[in-house]
Structure 1
Amino acid sequence: MTSLRRLRTRRALALAGLVAVAAPLVSSCGFDYATDRPNVIADGGYHIDGDVHVLAARIVAPSDGTGTFVATISVEPSADDATFSGLSGEGVTAGQFEPVTIPSNGSVNLFTEGGVPVTGDFAAGDSVPVTLDFGSGKSIDIDARVVKQCAEYAEVATPSPSPSKSPKAGASASPSAEATTEPYDCSYPTAPAIGESEGD
């Protein structure tokens, strides 16, 4: 009887040891898969928390310091309509634009609907923090990637030289509001043919 009890005790201890060793391994299986987490592959910033989502936020720029803010804005089915009414950011000045209403369970692509003209201290390749304001009082902070107005972005409308409020009658626009930088070069470099050198 004593040996049987000893055998059971040993088996119980061995089983407890296996459980202790396997517990961390088992707990890592089936939970928090990468495929269960949001993964947005896009050239631009995105915000997917809450009822209003902002995807692929970009500033499409024909040259340094001027461009058009574009993004896709969507609203969850359980939420009310949202109205995108303002844009601001450190070192970024947004021009006037008509508020954009996004219906519940719908989306609006500013790329095709027309974006927001912006000016500021930015250049292609930068990531610019901006804040989107909505009629409900809600705001969303996001980083907008600055991209050249080339290739797939060539059709985005170019803002007027001064996106701020129109000057009063008789007043001239400030020279600083004019675009003073060269437009970006959209051509791709060509490699010399095989057997040729660059000097040929």
Structure 2
Amino acid sequence: MATKPEIVIASSNPNKIREFKEMLEPLGFTIKSIADFDNIPAIDENGKTFEENATIKAQTVAQALQVPVLTDDSGLVVPAINGEPGIYSARYAGDHDDEANNQKLLKRLQHADDRNAYFHTSLVVMKPTGEKLHVTGIVSGEILTEPRGENGFGYDPLFYVPTLQKTLAELTDDEKNQVSHRGRALEKLQQVLNDWW
């Protein structure tokens, strides 16, 4: 029996890795993360877009490990504040400090009438040869004035989805996978990955 293809997720975020495993393992892929390896070079995310940053990460790790790599670059975009926090979402107020990031966002939106926002995900799968597959996903919503829900991370407790009348942090993992930007991008990836492979 042929061994299942292995994909390394270029992230050390346990929440993201869990979401990827839930979506891709049923397709027969073996999922590992960069936490399973020692020789990962430093990654300089100096791109100007989500796709550029995801590509930089994928390329660096695929070349270092000589295995196919899946990476994402995701972020929250709030048009009323010039698209902030955008590609700087994880380090908006401090490196991966969710609480500080949320507080800075609320402060920036203090006097805003327009609280519309969307989450964007760019997913890139890259083979060691440099062959690349790119898909995107978006979920639209609005930013609340205070957090709600316990089941999310990042900006999830502030991000309200009007059609569900809940924040992303009030959804179960299954519900979130169905509507989230990463879930939508992964659905597209599921449709094209086997053919591309």
User: TM-score, normalized by length of structure 2?
Assistant: 0.23
Which structure dedicates a bigger proportion of its chain to helix? 2
Which structure dedicates a bigger proportion of its chain to strand? 1
Q: Which has the higher contact order (CA 8 A, sep 6+)?
A: 1
Larger radius of gyration: 1
